């Protein structure tokens, strides 16, 4: 069941930026899975001033048209940005997420990865809802320093709650 789908190409000028789109709908996923159909979008962004060229491609189940190609491109790039920033945070800002969390024997690495993702979810929830948490992050100046201080306070003192640890980081510990 071979299918020769029509490739559509469009160019949009926007100041110094040229947007070049190519897309094709109803393509087979691969030779083995001819019945699984996908739609393919390719995008080039060309800056005339700097001659910088960026290239992106996406596979989707949305039908691609001239009307929605720009919106699909923006959504794909936004999703990439969110994923890239999230993994950068998890890897470099104190969560210690590494590639090897996805590998290993007897699921231990997967458990570690899930626990780390759960901690990240809690932090993201606190960031949008807890002023004390945000004050603590601001006081520490980086998430790596934040986690270091939380570990130090956690190991050196007895606290009733995480709020008490955040209070200690922001306001210090007062002897009674």
Q: What is the pLDDT of residues 124-171, one digit of tens each?
A: 899 999 999 999 999 999 888 998 999 999 898 899 999 999 999 999
Q: Is the pTM of this model over 0.85?
A: no
23: tokens are 């897309």
pLDDT at 126: 93
* 166 compared with 109, residue with greater pLDDT: 166
- What does the mean pLDDT of the chain come to? 86
pLDDT of residue 4: 52
How do residues 38-72 score in pLDDT, each as one tens digit? 999 999 999 999 888 999 999 999 999 999 999 99
3-state SS of the chain is CCCCCCCEEEEEEECCEEEEEEEEEEEECCCCCCCCEEEEEEEEEEECCCCCEEEEEEEECCCCCCCCHHHHHHHHHHHHHHHHHHHHHHHHCCCCCCHHHHCCCCCHHHHHHHHHHHHHHHHHHHHHHCHHHHHHHHHHCCHHHHHHHHHHHHHHCCCCCHHHHHHHHHHCCCCC
Separation in Å, CA 121 to CA 115, 142, 148, 149 = 10, 18, 19, 20
Predicted confidence band at 2 (pLDDT cuts at 50, 70, 90)? Answer: very low
The residue extents of the domains of the chain are 8-66, 99-171
Report pLDDT for 102: 53
pLDDT of residue 1: 38
List 18's β-bridge partners, or say none: 13, 46
């Amino acid at each position: 069941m071979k299918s020769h789908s029509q490739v559509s190409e469009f160019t949009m000028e926007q100041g110094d930026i040229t947007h070049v789109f190519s897309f094709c709908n109803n393509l087979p996923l691969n030779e083995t899975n001819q019945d699984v159909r996908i739609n393919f979008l390719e995008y080039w962004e060309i800056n005339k001033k700097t001659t910088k060229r960026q290239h992106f491609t996406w596979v989707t189940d949305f039908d691609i048209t001239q009307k929605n190609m720009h919106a699909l491109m923006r959504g794909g790039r936004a999703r990439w940005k969110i994923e890239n920033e999230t993994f950068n945070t998890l890897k470099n800002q104190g969560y210690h997420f590494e590639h090897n969390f996805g590998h290993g024997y007897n699921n231990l690495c997967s458990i570690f990865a899930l626990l780390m993702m759960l901690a990240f979810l809690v932090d993201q929830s606190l960031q949008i809802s807890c002023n004390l948490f945000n004050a603590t992050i601001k006081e520490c100046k980086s998430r790596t320093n934040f986690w270091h201080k939380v570990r130090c306070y956690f190991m050196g003192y007895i606290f009733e709650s995480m709020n008490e640890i955040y209070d200690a980081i922001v306001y210090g510990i007062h002897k009674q």
